[in-house]
Amino acid sequence: MATGVGVLVFGGYQELEFWYPVLRLREAEIPVSVLGVQGDQAAYSLLGYPVVPNAALAKVSPSDFAAIVIPGGNIGVISGDQSLKTFLSEASAKGAVIAAISQASALLPQGGKILVAKTSDELPQWTKQLLTQLKS
């Protein structure tokens, strides 16, 4: 059974919406893999801060993760990515929680275990809910 969490990163990600869940999950000793939607090269945030993914999304399996976190930001750069949509749908079908923040809720697949934070103000409670779902 998958126990880790994949956190997506892409050019134009929102810093707080990426780092808050990453740090809180790591604090809870949950394995986190940063997955580059656009490959394994550094992705730059809205403010220009780089994050180097652990792996390209194309190189991992949806069944490897108990949850996938999608931070908000400039999702327009990834919203048309069919391989991303397929990955999210397959992860959801295998029982993974698909957890989106703000604008990223537009990328959610139909059905499954969905968790949405409408704004970054909801991140503390949203993260607690995600941790609860991962421990159940």
Which domains does the chain carry?
4-135 (3.40.50.880)
| Global pTM value | 0.97
pLDDT above 80 (res 103): yes
Is 4 exposed, middle or buried (CB count within 10 Å of its CB: 0-12, 13-18, 19+)?
middle
Q: What pLDDT shows up at residue 100?
A: 98
Percent of the chain, pLDDT > 70? 99
| pLDDT mean over 106-116 | 95
Residue 2 has pLDDT above 80, yes or no: no
| Per-residue model confidence as pLDDT tens digits over 57-102 | 999 999 999 999 999 999 999 999 999 999 999 999 999 999 999 9
Residue 1 has pLDDT above 90, yes or no: no
Question: What's the confidence (pLDDT) of residue 136?
Answer: 80
Q: Find all residues with CB under 8 Å of 5, minimum gap 6, and list them.
A: 25, 30, 31, 32, 33, 65, 66, 67, 68, 69, 134
In this predicted model, what pLDDT tens digit does every residue of 10-69 receive, in sequence order? 999 999 999 999 999 999 999 999 999 999 999 999 999 999 999 999 999 999 999 999
